[in-house]
């Protein structure tokens, strides 16, 4: 494996109505019978049943399982609802502060609590994401009109203040 290659651990829930769909990834491991290594070269066009058809071919990294298990246990201990509540409070404050700068967001009842799209009048200023990144503030430009802001649980009030200081400075240029 190349030094730059990334292999990770991921999870997906696939609703039963989508479990027989066509996957985006076409590899040997998501084909029917691929778990039978004695017939490994007996390739088939049909896919694994159910959600297994959506595997991307990197399920052999057993070393990541303990970390994934610990992370999932932490999520269950905290509770998804509590996490959403905590992050929504942060995104609501960010939306209010952005509105004071003339930057709009969807109303709370129309957005998820864990991320926020900030919409700039006249579109996202050219080079805004780069100017923010130079100050170690990272956002994702979405289309021509919005910037996605996704705070995590570890984001503090000081981080939020710094975001707005850097944003104001970047918009002034």
Rounding to the nearest 10 degrees, give the CA dihedral for residues 102, 106, 112, 115. Answer: -30
Same domain for 158 and 97, yes or no, is: yes
Same domain for 29 and 112, yes or no, is: no
Residue 66 lies in a domain: no
Residue 74 lies in a domain: no
Residue 75 lies in a domain: no
pLDDT band at 30 (very low <50, low <70, confident <90, very high): confident
Same domain for 50 and 116, yes or no, is: no
Residue span of the structural domain in which 56 resides: 16-60
Tens-place pLDDT, residues 40-88: 778 889 999 999 898 877 666 778 888 889 999 999 999 999 999 999 9
Tens-place pLDDT, residues 129-163: 999 999 999 999 999 999 999 999 999 999 999 99
How would DSSP label each residue in the chain? --TT-----------GGGTTS--S---GGGBTTTT-GGGTT---SSBPSGGGGG--S-TT-GGGHHHHHHHHHHHHHH-HHHHHHHHHHHHHHHHHHHHHTT-B---GGGS-SS-EEEE-TTSSPTTHHHHHHTTT---EEETTTEEEE---TT--HHHHHHHHHHHHHHHH-
Same domain for 42 and 110, yes or no, is: no
Tens-place pLDDT, residues 82-137: 999 999 999 999 999 999 999 999 999 999 999 899 999 999 999 999 999 999 99
Same domain for 141 and 94, yes or no, is: yes
Same domain for 84 and 163, yes or no, is: yes
* pTM attached to this predicted model: 0.71
Q: How many distinct structural domains can be found in the chain?
A: 2
Residue 155 lies in a domain: yes
Residue 147 lies in a domain: yes
């Amino acid at each position: 494996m190349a030094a730059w290659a990334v292999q990770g651990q991921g999870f997906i829930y696939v609703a039963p109505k989508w479990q027989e769909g066509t996957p985006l990834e076409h590899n040997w491991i998501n084909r029917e019978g691929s778990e039978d290594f004695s017939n490994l070269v007996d390739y088939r066009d049909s896919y694994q049943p159910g959600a297994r058809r959506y595997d991307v071919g990197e399920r052999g990294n057993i070393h990541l399982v303990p970390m994934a298990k610990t992370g999932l246990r932490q999520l269950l201990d905290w509770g998804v609802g509590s996490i959403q509540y905590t992050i929504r409070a942060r995104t609501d404050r960010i939306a209010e502060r952005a509105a004071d700068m003339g930057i709009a967001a969807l109303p709370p009842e129309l957005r998820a609590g864990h991320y926020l799209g900030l919409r700039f009048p006249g579109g996202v200023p050219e080079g805004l994401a780069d100017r923010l990144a130079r100050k170690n503030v990272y956002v994702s430009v979405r289309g021509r009109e919005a910037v996605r802001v996704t705070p995590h649980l570890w984001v503090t009030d000081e981080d939020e203040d710094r975001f707005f200081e850097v944003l104001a400075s970047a918009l002034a240029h």
